[in-house]
Amino acid sequence: MTGAMPTAQYLLSAILALLPSPHLQESLEALLLLLLQGHGKARPQHSQTKSPARCFPHGKAAALSRFFNRYAWPTRTLIRLARREAERALDRARPRRGSKPRLLVVLDLVTLEKRGLLRALPLSFFHGKWGLHLGVVYLVHGELRIPWSYRVWRGKGEKSLSLLALRLLASLPPWMRKAFRVRVVADTAFGTIRFLRGVRELGLEAVVGMRRFSIEHFFKAMKSEFSLGQFGQRTALGVHRFLVLSPLAYLLAHWVKLASEEKGCTWWEAARRLFPEPVALILSRELSLLGLWPPPPGKGVEDACLCGICGRCKF
């Protein structure tokens, strides 16, 4: 898909420009890179590009955790900026001639399982699972996959779940409804008369209980690759920011993969193209731990053999 890589680079640059200091910019880069590593268990203490702990007047606190929970940076502006670029990408991808193209609006209820009781978070039971329950909207058009919005469901009954779903759908901009034939693909949890009536009133088409591989693949990737359920923050603000940055990392990597000419481009390869310098730093540290870095005296990077035996494997 042409233009996807420049879009990802532009969005990343624009988001970094929102942050008021180089320290916050470095923290955001470190967190996005951590989410893009693809191991599904991203925590601030796992960062290899930024020191996780520093001295603080009231004891030790994780620098990256403070980025989530304490530092002032414009989270809402970041969301608006990402949505604007996502809308532009969607508008570029739609055909201008012929009948209206189809836009799938996937609505799912996702449970992020947790243990214990976190007073700042509305945890509850649903279908035997204790955790944070999210209504999530995700857009599908052709090859494009766009995480759009989420809301926390507080577990207060069927009526509140239907209202939450309709509020999520109402967040779609009017131009999308005019430019596309919008089909809402909803989880069976939303299959109520109230919900179906509300979807029709919005002028949309609804299919409840439909499952597709691509839809399941997205939510599986968000949990297993982009650490959606691995937030460790104990404040509502910290959790909200984590739930914003995780889909943002997916969106950036997805655009890079669309622009890649190589088949099977991994999330880590996408990260390497977005953050070449931090990735090179991580690799050099890993090689150093193995005793393979820096190169021997008198040899440059291009001449260095990683194993020190064959003379062929290069950095």
pLDDT tens profile 26-46: 888 888 888 877 565 555 555
Q: How confident is the model at residue 53 (pLDDT cuts 50, 70, 90)?
A: very low
pLDDT band at 52 (very low <50, low <70, confident <90, very high): very low
The predicted model gives 63-77 an average pLDDT of 87
pLDDT of residue 112: 83
Contact criterion met (CB below 8 Å) for 139 and 145: yes
Instruction: Provide the 10 A C-beta neighbour count for residue 215.
Output: 18
Domain regions of the chain by residue span: 94-224
Q: Mean pLDDT across the chain, nearest whole number?
A: 77
What does the pLDDT read at residue 59?
A: 31
pLDDT score of 308 more than 80 = no
Segment among 60-64, 69-73, 243-247 with least mean pLDDT: 60-64
Whether the predicted pLDDT of 62 surpasses 90: no
pLDDT at 40: 53
Summarize the chain as % helix, strand, coil (round to 5).
Answer: 45, 20, 35
The predicted-structure confidence for 8-31, as pLDDT tens digits, reads as follows 888 989 999 999 999 898 888 888
Is 61 in contact with 53 (CB distance < 8 Å)? yes
Give the Cα separation of 147 and 248 in Å (integer). 8
Q: Which of 56-60, 65-69, 217-221 has the highest mean pLDDT?
A: 65-69
**Mean pLDDT within 237-264:** 85
SS3 category, 14 = helix
State how far the Cα of 265 lies from the Cα of 8, in Å rounded to an integer: 15
- The pLDDT of residue 56 is 39
Q: Is the pLDDT of residue 47 over 60?
A: no
Predicted local distance difference test score (pLDDT) of residue 180: 94
Closest CA to 149 of 239, 247, 229: 247
Phi, psi of 60 (to 5 degrees): -90, 140
For the stretch 137-181, pLDDT in tens is 999 999 899 999 999 888 766 568 888 999 999 989 999 999 999
More confident residue, 239 or 155: 239
Q: Pairing relation of β-strands 53-56 and 59-62?
A: antiparallel
Token pair listed for 265: 């481009």
pLDDT value, residue 166: 92
Say how far apart CA 205 and CA 106 lie, in whole Å: 12
Give the pLDDT score at 191: 79
At 267, which amino acid appears?
W
Tell me which amino acid residue 71 is.
Answer: Y
**What are the Cα distances from residue 200, in Å, to 54, 175, 196?**
54, 17, 6
In this predicted structure, what is the pLDDT of residue 58?
A: 36
pTM of the model: 0.79
Q: Please give the full DSSP string across 108-142, using - where no structure is assigned.
A: EEEEEE--S--TTS--EEETTEEEEEEEEEEEEET
pLDDT for 298 beyond 60: no
Q: Give me the CATH topology for the region 94-224.
A: Transposase Inhibitor Protein From Tn5; Chain A, domain 1 (3.90.350)
User: What are the residues whose beta carbons fall under 8 Å from the beta carbon of 184, sequence distance 6 or more?
Assistant: 105, 107, 169, 199, 204, 205, 206, 207
Q: How far is CA 255 from CA 2, 3, 79, 268, in A?
A: 10, 9, 17, 13
Tokens 């880590």 belong to which residue? Answer: 268
The C-alpha angle 248, 141, 252, rounded to 5 degrees, equals 20
CA distance 103 to 122: 32
* CA gap 36, 296 in Å, rounded: 32
User: What is the full DSSP assignment across 16-31?
Assistant: HHHSSSHHHHHHHHHH
Give residue 57's pLDDT band: very low, low, confident or very high (50, 70, 90). very low
